[in-house]
Structure 1
């Protein structure tokens, strides 16, 4: 049997990722700014988010302020790469594809927070925190369930007893890590692709004198 699972698609080419990595690691960026892995997770979260964040808000959060850009050209180049990563993530997910993540999808027996996987999920959660109310507004229980893997792998909630208990299950953590691209797509479908509503069928003309009381062909609305 052939595996028809779609292959993950890169969100930026290697050359752009390398340039972005060099800039984020430079002295011109605040020490508390997100690194490349964290920024990747952060921007994927923004691609999934139920509401678009204003660029000024997410740029300030990602960099922890304004970097010391050499000139306007460099600023445009760096911010352009970040925006391209976010936009490509939307395009990939909108087409039902999976985003390629910039690390191997395995923990190798290490705690997630000691791996790039933890850094990426922590960056993703930073994107959620940017507008946490919007993520949980419509269905808090569904949101909590869908975000649980990212919360668990991020290591940001290790002090919470329930999370600490779940974190002991290494096999579960490995399974969630392997499924990260699919879990991102699940979130996108939940927030960005509303369930299809059946199109109303055209009414047939009724013969004169027929009763109007019952619409038998009308689909019942589910609440």
Structure 2
């Protein structure tokens, strides 16, 4: 599965109504990961994942949990690479 496909699946998961009302949706999660990428202190992975969801989500199975969390980690790394490079930063939504 391509990175773009994984991001689409992550967006569907984060934007679902089944998550806790204080959980971050995809756009907010992208902003959160961007902030973590420029943070002076490294925040432990488990800590920022737990904070993003506010309450543990109801995954359909362990495979879904693994996929969602791995995609979040990959997205954070992707954002950090973009910020460190000269390439244009990809926004998670259109600014109209």
For residue 69 of structure 1, the aligned residue among 59, 64, 67 is 59
RMSD value over aligned CA atoms? 1.9
1:41-120, aligned counterparts within 5 Å?
Answer: 41-106=31-96
1:133-152, aligned counterparts within 5 Å?
Answer: none
| Structure 1 residue ranges without an equivalent (≥5) | 1-11, 107-223
Larger helix share, 1 or 2: 2
Q: Which has the higher contact order (CA 8 A, sep 6+)?
A: 2
TM-score, structure 1 length as denominator? 0.39
| Structure 2 residue ranges without an equivalent (≥5) | none
Structure 1 residue 104, shift from structure 2 partner: 2.5
TM-score, structure 2 length as denominator? 0.84
Larger radius of gyration: 1
Q: In structure 2, how many angstroms separate the alpha carbons of the residues matched to 1:14 and 1:103?
A: 14
1:164-203, aligned counterparts within 5 Å?
Answer: none
Counterpart in the other structure of 1:23: 13
Contact map agreement 1:28 1:69 (CA 8 A) in 2: no
Equivalent residue pairs, number: 95
